Amino acid sequence: MGLTDLFKKAFMGATDEENRKNKARMREIFNSSVANGDDYKLIYCHMENYTNAVLVQVTRHSNFIVGYKEGEVIVIPVDSQLTEYGDAMIFNKANESFTKTSLGFCFVGNKDVSLQFVPMTYEPGITAGARHSVSITQSSAEVAEFKNFFKKGLQ
Protein backbone atom coordinates (compact mmCIF):
# COMPACT_ATOMS: atom_id res chain seq x y z
CA MET A 1 0.00 0.00 0.00
CA GLY A 2 1.55 3.28 -1.11
CA LEU A 3 1.55 6.59 0.71
CA THR A 4 -1.45 7.84 -1.29
CA ASP A 5 -3.41 4.69 -0.38
CA LEU A 6 -2.53 5.10 3.32
CA PHE A 7 -3.77 8.70 3.20
CA LYS A 8 -7.00 7.71 1.44
CA LYS A 9 -7.61 4.84 3.90
CA ALA A 10 -6.99 7.06 6.94
CA PHE A 11 -8.99 10.09 5.86
CA MET A 12 -11.48 8.81 3.27
CA GLY A 13 -12.02 5.28 4.62
CA ALA A 14 -11.15 3.38 1.45
CA THR A 15 -8.36 3.07 -1.06
CA ASP A 16 -9.31 3.26 -4.73
CA GLU A 17 -8.95 -0.53 -4.96
CA GLU A 18 -11.14 -1.17 -1.87
CA ASN A 19 -13.73 1.24 -3.21
CA ARG A 20 -13.82 -0.45 -6.62
CA LYS A 21 -13.99 -3.98 -5.12
CA ASN A 22 -16.65 -3.10 -2.56
CA LYS A 23 -18.89 -1.33 -5.09
CA ALA A 24 -18.59 -4.36 -7.40
CA ARG A 25 -19.40 -6.67 -4.46
CA MET A 26 -22.44 -4.56 -3.54
CA ARG A 27 -23.72 -4.86 -7.12
CA GLU A 28 -23.05 -8.63 -7.09
CA ILE A 29 -24.99 -9.09 -3.82
CA PHE A 30 -27.86 -6.91 -5.01
CA ASN A 31 -28.16 -8.57 -8.42
CA SER A 32 -28.12 -12.05 -6.86
CA SER A 33 -30.97 -11.03 -4.55
CA VAL A 34 -33.14 -8.95 -6.90
CA ALA A 35 -34.48 -9.75 -10.37
CA ASN A 36 -33.35 -7.11 -12.88
CA GLY A 37 -30.99 -5.67 -10.26
CA ASP A 38 -29.18 -3.52 -12.82
CA ASP A 39 -32.37 -1.41 -13.13
CA TYR A 40 -31.67 0.03 -9.65
CA LYS A 41 -29.21 2.66 -8.51
CA LEU A 42 -27.25 1.51 -5.46
CA ILE A 43 -26.03 3.36 -2.43
CA TYR A 44 -24.41 2.22 0.80
CA CYS A 45 -26.06 3.32 4.05
CA HIS A 46 -25.04 2.89 7.69
CA MET A 47 -26.82 3.27 11.00
CA GLU A 48 -25.68 3.35 14.62
CA ASN A 49 -28.14 2.75 17.44
CA TYR A 50 -27.01 3.67 20.94
CA THR A 51 -28.30 2.16 24.16
CA ASN A 52 -27.01 3.80 27.31
CA ALA A 53 -27.85 1.73 30.38
CA VAL A 54 -26.61 2.54 33.88
CA LEU A 55 -23.48 0.39 33.70
CA VAL A 56 -22.95 -0.17 30.01
CA GLN A 57 -23.24 1.65 26.72
CA VAL A 58 -24.00 -0.48 23.68
CA THR A 59 -23.68 0.66 20.09
CA ARG A 60 -25.26 -1.49 17.40
CA HIS A 61 -24.00 -0.90 13.86
CA SER A 62 -26.07 -1.78 10.80
CA ASN A 63 -25.02 -1.67 7.16
CA PHE A 64 -27.32 -1.68 4.15
CA ILE A 65 -27.18 -1.86 0.40
CA VAL A 66 -30.10 0.25 -0.79
CA GLY A 67 -31.30 -0.06 -4.36
CA TYR A 68 -33.79 2.44 -5.68
CA LYS A 69 -35.69 3.25 -8.82
CA GLU A 70 -38.89 5.13 -9.53
CA GLY A 71 -41.62 3.68 -7.32
CA GLU A 72 -39.51 1.15 -5.39
CA VAL A 73 -36.78 0.81 -2.77
CA ILE A 74 -35.05 -2.46 -1.90
CA VAL A 75 -32.90 -2.77 1.22
CA ILE A 76 -30.45 -5.60 1.89
CA PRO A 77 -28.72 -5.76 5.29
CA VAL A 78 -25.01 -6.64 5.01
CA ASP A 79 -22.03 -7.04 7.29
CA SER A 80 -19.14 -4.57 7.15
CA GLN A 81 -17.01 -6.95 5.07
CA LEU A 82 -19.79 -7.68 2.54
CA THR A 83 -19.42 -11.41 3.19
CA GLU A 84 -22.81 -12.02 4.81
CA TYR A 85 -26.15 -10.52 3.89
CA GLY A 86 -29.82 -10.88 4.67
CA ASP A 87 -32.95 -11.10 2.60
CA ALA A 88 -34.00 -8.25 0.36
CA MET A 89 -36.79 -6.10 1.80
CA ILE A 90 -39.02 -4.54 -0.85
CA PHE A 91 -40.79 -1.21 -0.32
CA ASN A 92 -43.30 0.14 -2.86
CA LYS A 93 -46.87 1.46 -3.11
CA ALA A 94 -48.26 -2.07 -3.53
CA ASN A 95 -47.21 -2.91 0.04
CA GLU A 96 -48.18 0.55 1.33
CA SER A 97 -44.61 1.69 1.90
CA PHE A 98 -43.27 5.20 2.44
CA THR A 99 -39.97 7.05 2.25
CA LYS A 100 -38.99 10.27 4.01
CA THR A 101 -35.98 12.23 5.22
CA SER A 102 -35.35 14.19 8.38
CA LEU A 103 -32.17 15.73 9.83
CA GLY A 104 -29.91 13.77 7.44
CA PHE A 105 -31.60 10.44 8.13
CA CYS A 106 -33.57 8.48 5.55
CA PHE A 107 -36.57 6.39 6.54
CA VAL A 108 -38.36 3.65 4.64
CA GLY A 109 -41.12 1.45 5.93
CA ASN A 110 -44.53 -0.15 5.70
CA LYS A 111 -46.92 -1.80 8.16
CA ASP A 112 -44.47 -4.67 8.80
CA VAL A 113 -41.05 -3.04 9.04
CA SER A 114 -39.47 0.39 9.34
CA LEU A 115 -35.80 1.24 8.78
CA GLN A 116 -33.70 4.31 9.41
CA PHE A 117 -30.24 4.90 7.95
CA VAL A 118 -27.74 7.47 6.74
CA PRO A 119 -26.30 7.44 3.22
CA MET A 120 -22.53 7.77 3.66
CA THR A 121 -20.08 9.72 1.57
CA TYR A 122 -17.18 8.16 3.52
CA GLU A 123 -16.14 6.99 6.99
CA PRO A 124 -12.54 8.01 7.81
CA GLY A 125 -10.41 4.98 8.58
CA ILE A 126 -8.99 6.64 11.67
CA THR A 127 -12.33 6.81 13.52
CA ALA A 128 -13.42 4.19 16.04
CA GLY A 129 -16.52 3.28 14.02
CA ALA A 130 -14.64 2.65 10.77
CA ARG A 131 -14.25 -1.07 11.42
CA HIS A 132 -18.05 -1.36 11.57
CA SER A 133 -18.59 0.30 8.19
CA VAL A 134 -18.03 -0.85 4.62
CA SER A 135 -14.82 0.65 3.18
CA ILE A 136 -16.36 2.74 0.43
CA THR A 137 -16.55 6.31 -0.78
CA GLN A 138 -19.60 7.83 -2.44
CA SER A 139 -19.81 11.27 -3.96
CA SER A 140 -21.85 14.09 -2.45
CA ALA A 141 -23.84 14.09 -5.70
CA GLU A 142 -24.75 10.39 -5.27
CA VAL A 143 -25.88 11.00 -1.68
CA ALA A 144 -27.84 14.14 -2.64
CA GLU A 145 -29.63 12.30 -5.46
CA PHE A 146 -30.58 9.51 -3.03
CA LYS A 147 -31.86 11.96 -0.40
CA ASN A 148 -33.89 13.82 -3.03
CA PHE A 149 -35.45 10.51 -4.12
CA PHE A 150 -36.45 9.81 -0.52
CA LYS A 151 -37.85 13.34 -0.05
CA LYS A 152 -40.00 12.93 -3.15
CA GLY A 153 -41.48 9.69 -1.80
CA LEU A 154 -42.61 6.61 -3.67
CA GLN A 155 -44.54 7.60 -6.80
Rounded Cα distance between 12 and 63, Å, is 18
pLDDT band at 9 (very low <50, low <70, confident <90, very high): very low
* pLDDT for res 5: 47
* pLDDT for res 4: 53
Query: Is residue 15 over pLDDT 80?
Result: no
Instruction: With H, G, I as helix, E, B as strand and everything else as coil, classify residue 104.
Output: coil
* pLDDT for res 104: 85
Instruction: With H, G, I as helix, E, B as strand and everything else as coil, classify residue 25.
Output: helix
pLDDT band at 52 (very low <50, low <70, confident <90, very high): low
Digit-coded pLDDT (tens) for 69-118: 999 999 999 998 899 999 999 999 999 999 999 988 999 999 999 999 98
* pLDDT for res 96: 96
- Order across the sheet with 57-69: list the strands: 89-92, 72-78, 57-69, 41-52, 114-119, 105-109, 98-102
DSSP string, 110-138: -SS-EEEEEE-S---TTSGGGGGS-----
For the ranges 49-58, 67-76, 86-95, 119-128, the lowest mean pLDDT is seen at 119-128
